Structure 1
Amino acid sequence: MSLPITMGWRQPMASHTPAYNPVPARQTLVMSAQPLPQQQAAPSPDAKPKKAAWPPAVRAYVQRAFEPDNAIEGVSSAEMETKLKQTIQYFAELNFLDQLDWANYPLPQTIVQNERKAAAAAAVAAAASVVGNGYGYANTAQANHVLTSNGSANYISSFSSPKSSKKRKSSDMEALNPDDGTPPPWRKTNNTAFDTRETHSSGKQEKRQKKNEAAGGNSKFNQADLEKRKQRFQTAKSGSRSTPPWASSRNDSDSEPPLPAGPVVGTNMTLEKSYFRLTAPPKPETVRPQHVLEKTLELLKKKWREEKNYNYTCNQFKSLRQDLTVQHIKNAFTVSVYEIHARIALEKGDLGEYNQCQTQLRALYAQKLGGHPGEFTAYRILYFVYTCNKTDMNDLLAELTPADKIRPEVKHALDVRSALALGNYHRFFRLYLSAPHMGGYLMDLFIKRERLHALANISKAYISVMLRFLTDELGFDSDGETQEFLATCGAQDLVEEKVTEKGTQVRVILRGTAAASIFEHHRAAAFKTVDIKGQI
């Protein structure tokens, strides 16, 4: 039977099978038959939350923080309240609310202001270094002057703000990549050499990989070593609790509370504690307060008089100084600690510790905290004589006032400098024998050098001298000590004993150029000695 033809198209067949499987649509959502968990009863709206019982000192501290007289311009109330909550929360978690001296603790608005000043100073210093290094200024002070005169805030923001640098970079790229369809100059060059380098580099990597596979695991780049290295880094990363500077700041509930911007208040009551270099922020339980440190100082003074154990004493003094530093304690007691440690270090010839104490004392004396500034100014002058530091000596002489120059110890140190500058060795050794306080210990550092200098001059002026003359002139205690000193210089052959009617006389023959050359050689070697310890 033939099919009808209509308009040249074939009519569809009566039965047609679809190309998909029909699925009935779900009309209702079938819920599980499991019972819902019982919800806890909501608290009554009339129920009031329990208030924390703060000590009276904390309440007074909060009241002072909200007083209008204590408000600081530029610090908003929201910032003050946030810092107040952080401070109280920190000491509450340490159970230290009752022990802290809240009457003298800085107010939260003061802490916020100090944080801003510190951040601004750091930003100015960073910008000044960039200006000084990048724009050819002679020093940081000149760069700071440029910052101040040209608007430091805008200038610093142009260096520190990532948005401005990104915007400047994008504008530069738009200038270098115009939209007219013209390729930039580096696009016009032939890139065949670069493609060749890439191909050559990939070829070298393939050769290295084949070589490692042929080594059979003996290569230093094998998989086992790489796995060990990966595990070490993962362990270090998981064990470290420090946040990298590039990580985003988060306020996790399980993280440690932020440290307040104030000094640490110690709670340790131990009198003796070994010194350890800090590698993390100090904890209150490892720091001793001032009243404990005062007892420690008395104990150390007593032990030093009885035992003279310098290693132990120096270690304890360094620990004591560290506790003072982390608590920001700067008063008359701090000055006495550094003075006593400096004297003990001088007695044992430890110039490194002496210089550290002297540096801190110079800053403490500038704050008029008491102590003995005249004594340690004289020590500074004698130390500059020892190191032949003429630049620092001139700066120190310019700082001295007429009242400083009439102090006995300072006048003695200035006389020592003057005697050496004039070559008056006779006066120098008289001053050496009459040095006040502990100036003699500093002069002991360069007395041998000056004795060689004096012997070199004496050998040029005298034919022979009595041994007793050298003993008295060079500040020796006995003739035997003088002979021993000459023997260390290789001049023992110059000593001659002669028997006369008055008895045995010991002379030192200095005739000729032999004696002068001996002493000149040792004098030049002594002046070449360089002090490598900490300078003031």
Structure 2
Amino acid sequence: MSYPSMGALNSIKPRALFTDHPEARGAFTPVSARTSFAQPPPPGLYTTSHSTHSNPTAPSPEKAKVVWPPTVRTYVQRAFAIENTAPEVDKKEMETKLKQVIASSVTDGTLHARDWSNEPLPQQIILQERKDSLVKSADHVYSNGVSPLTLQETNFKAHDSSSKKRKSSELDERQERLPPWSASTSNNVFEDRVSYPDKRHRGEEKTKGLSKSQKRKQRFENGHSQGLPQHISHVKEAPPPTPEVDRGPVVGRCQDLEKKYFRLTAPPNPDTVRPLQVLEQTLDHLKKKWKAEKNYGYMCDQLKSLRQDLTVQHIKTSFTVTVYEVHARIALEKGDLGEYNQCQTQLRALYSQHLGGHPEEFKAYRILYFIHTCNRTDMNDVLADLTATEKQHPAIRHALDARSALALGNFHRFFRLYLETPNMGAYLMDMFVGRERLVALSHICISYKPDVKLRFVTEELGFESDDESARFICDQQGQTLLDEKDAGDVRLLTGKAVRFFEGARAAAFQRVDIKGQI
């Protein structure tokens, strides 16, 4: 028997092996080749033509896109703004409510007609719904005009209903659980002869067979006979607390220019709160007093009291921005970073509402502050939020150059920028320039051997004089590292100072922990 060659087999069409023979044409049905691993549909499921099945990847018709108006986008931005967040409302709950509000407007066709600028935010809607539910629950208790039952009446009804529902089998089981000296009679003389490990166990044995209502009644009777006066026949339960109602901002009536700061432990009294016109006079008065006396303790107390009066009256204007900026600058001048951070945090929220002020100046302060705290995460957030116009502002450009110089290790440029700091940024740079000088000194000691002139250190590290640079080294306990040559030439012994300044640099870069940090 001869076999066909491979060339002969390849020339035969696949379907011809099954359908070309006349006897095989009625025995087999041609089936299209399978192109995927998906489960084939059952027969009869699709009623479309063969052309439809042959193209399973035909694109489905696209859904109509919803065009969101700019007012809706602004509404969503206001919902996620920091100043509008509510601590009582979870972020996921707020997002769910926001989707419901927008979806309902799309469904009823009011997406473009609704006034989204005056529409309540989703967190406000959630808080209002909670208040309404509390009010409805409180009104439902007394809506029928019937006073609640007393404690004795409640116990009696519970005991009566439980006794009616109790079956005889339960009574028989309770009789079987009781000891033999207690099951016969209620007042058995043998019960007192039983010894118990302690008195508490004896009390448990006595009340073991009682129902919950009987135990509750016994406790009430014991308390009544021990501590309650006999003439009290019943005790009424206290009504549920009435939900608090938001009465809105306070309107002050105080006319005093100076007022000490006290932390609020109760709702503010309008007689002790100063109105806006008095607060404006107070700020002018405090500015004059600060220039004359420079008493920071008094000034900080008065400015915190002024800020508190603005907060309780919900005053958010350009005057509010001015108050926080003045307090932040005074705190920077005195090195009070805790109070400065509180003002800086409030200023971020106020600047987002476009109320005026000097946002570029304080953004530059934020960059310098994050250099001081080595906070790279928040630094990246600040850099990402800067616009091209803000980067051209002199104060912000200076802060960015200082950060870039430190990142590149260009200490020569950094200390030149330190001597040219605009506004009050020098007060912030003073807080970390000593740390950077230690880093620069360690690099100088590695690069220059065996010594270097003290004058070179003075010029490179931004000191005003040789005495100041020598005093800085002595403050780090490095007196032995200075050597005075002939003609008053003082030199730094860099060969001996390498390990010394390496250790000082490591100690200076420990974690910064500041009260009120942003």
How many Å apart are 1:535 and its aligned residue? 1.6
Structure 2 residue identity aligned to 1:371: G
Measured after TM superposition, the shift of residue 504 of structure 1 is 2.5
Give 1:351's aligned residue: 337
Output aligned runs, 1:220-299, within 5 Å.
247-249=240-242, 261-299=247-285
Does 2:395 match 1:409? Answer: yes
Residues 52-451 of structure 1 mapped to structure 2, 5 A cutoff: 128=90, 140-141=91-92, 144-145=94-95, 203=198, 205=200, 247-249=240-242, 261-451=247-437
The change in CA–CA distance for 1:522 and 1:268 in structure 2 (over 3 A counts) is same
Seen in structure 2, the aligned counterparts of structure 1 residues 299 and 458 have a Cα distance that, compared at 3 Å, is same
**Structure 1 unmatched ranges of 5 or more:** 1-120, 129-139, 164-178, 193-198, 209-229, 231-243, 251-257
Percent pairwise identity: 57
Check 1:481–1:274 CA distance in 2 against 1; reply closer, same or farther (3 A cut).
Answer: same
Cα shift at 1:205: 3.9
For 1:204 and 1:373, how far apart are their aligned partners in 2?
74
TM-score (norm 1): 0.55
The amino acid of 2:502's aligned partner reads E
Query: 1:455 Cα shift?
Result: 0.6
The Cα of 1:247 is off from its aligned counterpart by 2.9
CA–CA separation in structure 1 for the residues paired with 2:88 and 2:308: 27
- Do the aligned residues in 2 keep the contact of 1:490 with 1:518 (CA within 8 Å)? no
> Normalised by the size of structure 2, how large is the TM-score?
0.57
The code of the aligned residue for 1:490 comes to Q
Equivalence for 1:480: 467
Change (3 A) 1:465 1:150: same
The residue aligned with 1:509 is 493
Number of positions where the alignment pairs a residue of Structure 1 with one of Structure 2: 324
Aligned match of 2:517:
535
Q: Shift of the alpha carbon at 1:489? A: 1.7
Contact 2:331–2:337, Cα closer than 8 Å, also in 1: yes
Shift of 1:261: 2.7
Q: SS at 1:346's partner residue?
A: helix
Q: CA deviation at 1:405?
A: 0.3
**Partner SS for 2:316:** coil
Q: Determine if contact 1:459/1:515 at 8 Å carries over to the other structure.
A: yes
- Separation (CA, whole Å) in 2 of partners of 1:334 and 1:289: 13
Per the TM alignment, residue 150 of structure 1 is displaced from its structure 2 partner at its CA by 8.5
Give the counterpart of 1:491 among 478, 484, 491. Answer: 478
Matched, 1:523 2:505: yes
Please report how far the alpha carbon of residue 482 of structure 1 lies from its aligned counterpart in structure 2 after TM superposition.
1.2
Give the aligned residue type for 2:461. Answer: L
Give the Cα separation in 1 of the matches to 2:479 and 2:199.
73
Residues 448-473 of structure 1, C-alpha deviations (whole Å, 9 max, x = no match): 11011111111110012111111111
Equivalents in 1 of 2:269, 2:195: separation in Å? Answer: 57
Whole-angstrom CA distance in 2 between matches of 1:201 and 1:424:
86
How far apart, CA to CA, are the structure 2 residues paired with 1:432 and 1:263? Answer: 45
Shift of 1:147: 6.3
3-state SS of paired residue (1:330):
coil
Q: Which runs of 5+ in 2 are unaligned?
A: 1-84, 102-121, 138-164, 179-193, 204-226, 228-237
Secondary structure at 2:412 match in 1 = helix
- 2:439 maps to a residue whose letter is H
Q: For residue 183 of structure 2, what is the aligned residue in structure 1? A: none
2:499 maps to amino acid: S
Structure 1 residue 248, shift from structure 2 partner: 3.8
Residue type at the aligned position of 1:483: A
Shift in Å, 1:148: 6.2
CA shift, 1:506, in A, is: 1.0
Q: String of CA shifts for 1:481-535, please: whole Å, max 9, x gaps.
A: 2111111222211211111xxx331111112xx4111111111111104223112
RMSD after superposition: 3.6
Q: Deviations over 1:286-336 (max 9, x none)?
A: 001111111111111111111000000000000000011111111111111
- Native 8 Å contact 1:383 1:442 kept in 2: yes
Would you say the 8 A contact 2:268–2:312 is kept in 1?
Answer: yes
> Secondary structure of the residue that 2:489 maps to in structure 1?
strand
Q: Secondary structure at the match of 1:271?
A: coil
Note closer, same or farther for the CA distance 1:149–1:413 as it changes in structure 2 (3 Å cut). closer
1:458-477 to 2 correspondence within 5 Å?
Answer: 458-463=444-449, 464-477=451-464
Looking at structure 2, the residues matched to 516 and 375 of structure 1 have their Cα atoms a distance apart, in angstroms, of 39
State the 1:474 CA deviation.
0.9
Q: Say whether the 8 Å CA contact 2:196–2:202 is kept in structure 1.
A: no
**Aligned partners of 1:366, 1:308: CA distance in 2, in Å?**
32
